[in-house]
Structure 1
Amino acid sequence: MCAKKVHPKIFRIKGIENWDSKGFYEKNFSQYLEEDFKIREFLENKIDRLALEKIEIERSPGKINLIIHTPRPGLIIGRGGEEVERLKEEIEKKILKEKRELKIEIREVKNPWTSATLVAKWMASQIEKRVPYRRVLKQALNRITLQKGVEGARVQVAGRLDGVEIARKEWIQKGRLPRQTLRAEIDYGQANAYCTYGVVGVKVWIYKGEKFD
């Protein structure tokens, strides 16, 4: 029962997964942690949610490297790199308390349908557009399981589905999903759909086979 409440990525940290923030944090740990939180919050508000998978932060003395994973790199880079430079200037001006070298690196997500976070965000956007949630569940699961390298998946929605008075949870699964196996490479993502009748939570698990590295 306990394992169901543990985030699938945290469950596998230092096994087959790693932290999204890493590097030199020994000095001024609380300040750097606050900066990381504000950087993520700023970028999530500035970038369209369907164009942002995750943000990695790497710190070394006097330097910060931001790695933005996105299926639409052109949207973030802008014409001639204008958008990236604007983001960089705003972060340096509004968030960073000390003068440090800031670098922003854009990495393309080749296939959004193998990313649990991007699938969850897509599902949330469809539910906000009032598409029936059962259709959204089936469409998402079918598209995920058609992708090369995917061995199983589960999609779930929870809340006041279709505006009913009592909140409930519904999910569907296809293929294998060994959540208790530590070497199983399971991508997990979640998102919220903000509807007129309340918030609907979306969760996605994608199993890509076992990893022995």
Structure 2
Amino acid sequence: MLLKDYLREAIKESGFSEVDIQKTPTGTRVGLHVTRPGIVIGRKGSGIRDLTKVLEKDFALKNPQISVIEIPRPELEPSVMCNRMSQHLARGTAFRRAVMWTLQTIMEAGAMGVQITISGKLRGERSSFEKHSKGVLPRAGYQAGVIVSEDIAHVETKMGLIGVRIRIAKKEKYIPEFELKGRKAAPKVVAVSVEEKEITEVEILDESQIDPTKPRTESEVIEIEEKLIEKVETFEDVEEELK
């Protein structure tokens, strides 16, 4: 838990999702699931070297061997979307606009269903909560454990602490009761492994090889989304039009 909290802040710009730890006779295998592996690796593996020292010294992991795993569709990862939504709230975006935008983004990415719960001091001194759902989302039983994944994030605002919980049902993890016609095969996850002996061979692309139209960090993604969120229509906007 402490390691995951540290990585959320240390490699936030890479779109960190989760970490897998496996103990082996020769050391500890640490798998980092991120949306942008290049940021974690760093130029000539400098990021991996620094992170390895921290894991070995501060978290007492024996001979950590870090592998960076790219997430093919970050919009279907609850942890990534929780982090993005919490950053929108921290920047002052209206919580309902942020919720509607996140719902729309997740469903357009190909989710079967999604539920977003936001709680805390949303509009006044008293704490409250709201739940927003879209699509098909099993909520209990064996089906929910197989299909649904979730994550929780907390963000400090001027009003107080706000909690965000996102639950996503993925089509790829269907069971017979929820089988979908025309289902496509799930994309394979590409792993980029960087060990001590391979670090000298890893380099980041030159600036000329990077597409300037695509965001390179999570902060750039948030800045682009902020302009689009302003166009999202909420229940309050519809109510004003009816008046």
TM-score range for the pair, normalised by the shorter chain length: 0.7 to 0.9
Verify the 8 A CA contact 1:137 1:171 in the aligned structure 2: no
Q: Which residue of 1 aligns with 2:170?
A: 208
- Residue 124 of structure 1, CA deviation: 0.7
Q: Which residue of 1 aligns with 2:10?
A: 46
Give yes or no for the alignment of 1:104 onto 2:76: no
- Residue 38 of structure 1, CA deviation: 4.5
**1:48-63 aligned within 5 A:** 48=12, 51-63=15-27
Give yes or no for the alignment of 1:151 onto 2:115: no
Q: Equivalents in 2 of 1:55, 1:136: separation in Å?
A: 26
Q: Secondary structure in 2 aligned to 1:182? A: helix
How many residue pairs match? The answer is 173
Give yes or no for the alignment of 1:166 onto 2:126: yes
Deviations 1:38-84 (A, max 9, x none): 54344334221662100110112341000000011111111111101
- Provide the aligned C-alpha RMSD in A: 2.0
- Greater RCO, CA 8 A, separation 6+: 2
Verify the 8 A CA contact 1:57 1:67 in the aligned structure 2: yes
Verify the 8 A CA contact 2:13 2:39 in the aligned structure 1: no
- Residue 212 of structure 1, CA deviation: 4.8
Verify the 8 A CA contact 1:65 1:105 in the aligned structure 2: yes
Verify the 8 A CA contact 1:50 1:118 in the aligned structure 2: no
Verify the 8 A CA contact 1:50 1:122 in the aligned structure 2: no
Q: Equivalents in 2 of 1:146, 1:94: separation in Å?
A: 40
Quick one: structure 1 residues 175 and 110, their matched pair in 2 at CA, closer, same or farther if it must change by over 3 Å? same
Quick one: structure 1 residues 41 and 116, their matched pair in 2 at CA, closer, same or farther if it must change by over 3 Å? closer
Structure 2 length-normalised TM: 0.66
Q: Which residue of 2 aligns with 1:138?
A: 100
Q: Report the AA paired with residue 128 of structure 2.
A: R
Deviations 1:171-198 (A, max 9, x none): 2111111121413411101111111221
Q: Secondary structure in 2 aligned to 1:76? A: helix
Higher helix share: 2
Verify the 8 A CA contact 2:14 2:40 in the aligned structure 1: no
Q: Equivalents in 2 of 1:117, 1:103: separation in Å?
A: 23
Q: Equivalents in 2 of 1:40, 1:203: separation in Å?
A: 17
* Gap runs ≥5 in structure 2: 177-243
Q: Which residue of 1 aligns with 2:76?
A: 114
Shifted more, 112-121 versus 179-188: the winner is 179-188
Structure 1 length-normalised TM: 0.75
Q: Which residue of 1 aligns with 2:180?
A: none
Verify the 8 A CA contact 1:153 1:174 in the aligned structure 2: yes
Q: Which has the larger radius of gyration?
A: 2
Quick one: structure 1 residues 189 and 42, their matched pair in 2 at CA, closer, same or farther if it must change by over 3 Å? closer
**Match among 176, 179, 198 for residue 139 of structure 2:** 179
Q: Which runs of 4+ in 1 moved over 2 A?
A: 37-45, 209-213
Q: Which residue of 2 aligns with 1:10?
A: none
Higher strand share: 1
Q: Equivalents in 2 of 1:158, 1:42: separation in Å?
A: 24
Q: Secondary structure in 2 aligned to 1:161? A: coil
Give yes or no for the alignment of 1:80 onto 2:37: no
